[in-house]
Structure 1
Amino acid sequence: MEIIGKVKKLFEIQNFDSGFKKREIVVTTEEPYPQNLLIEFIQEKVDLLENIKLNDKIKVYINLRGREWKNPEGNIKYFNSIQGWKIEEINHTQTSKKSSLPSMSSDDFDDLPF
Structure 2
Amino acid sequence: MEIRGKVHEIGATQQVTESFKKRDIIVAYAENPQFVEYIRFEATQDRTSIFDGLTVGEEIEVSFNLRGRPWTNKEGVTTYFNSLVAWRVTKLANTASSAPAPGYAEMPAPVDLSGSNDDDDLPF
TM-score of the aligned structures, taking structure 1 as reference length: 0.79
Name 2:103's counterpart in structure 1: none
Structure 1 CA distance for aligned equivalents of residues 5 and 97 of structure 2? 21
CA separation in 1, counterparts of 2:16 and 2:76?
Answer: 27
Mapped to 1, the partners of 2:97 and 2:36 lie a distance apart of 27
- Alignment pair present for 1:9 and 2:9: yes
| Deviation string, structure 1 residues 25-72 (Cα, Å, up to 9, x no partner) | 100013213210000011111111111111110000010110001100
Query: How many residues were matched structurally?
Result: 96
Asked if 1:61 is matched to 2:56, the reply is: no
**What is the percent sequence identity of the aligned residues?**
35
- Shift of residue 95, structure 1, vs aligned partner: 6.4
Summarize the alignment of residues 77-88 of structure 1 with structure 2, pairs less than 5 Å apart. 77-88=79-90
Which residue is equivalent to 2:47?
A: 45
Q: Considering only CA atoms, is the larger Rg found in Structure 1 or Structure 2?
A: 1
Unaligned runs of 5+ in 2: 99-124
Q: Shift of the alpha carbon at 1:94?
A: 6.2
- What is the letter of the counterpart of residue 8 of structure 1? H
Greater Cα offset, 36-45 or 13-22? 13-22
Equivalents in 1 of 2:17, 2:78: separation in Å? 27
Q: Aligned-pair distance for 1:17?
A: 2.9
**2-side partners of 1:6 and 1:87: how far apart?**
11
Partner AA of 1:29 in structure 2: Y
TM-score (norm: length of structure 2): 0.73
Structure with the higher helix share, 1 or 2: 1
Deviation at 1:16, TM superposition (A): 2.5
List runs of 5+ in structure 1 lacking aligned partners: 97-114
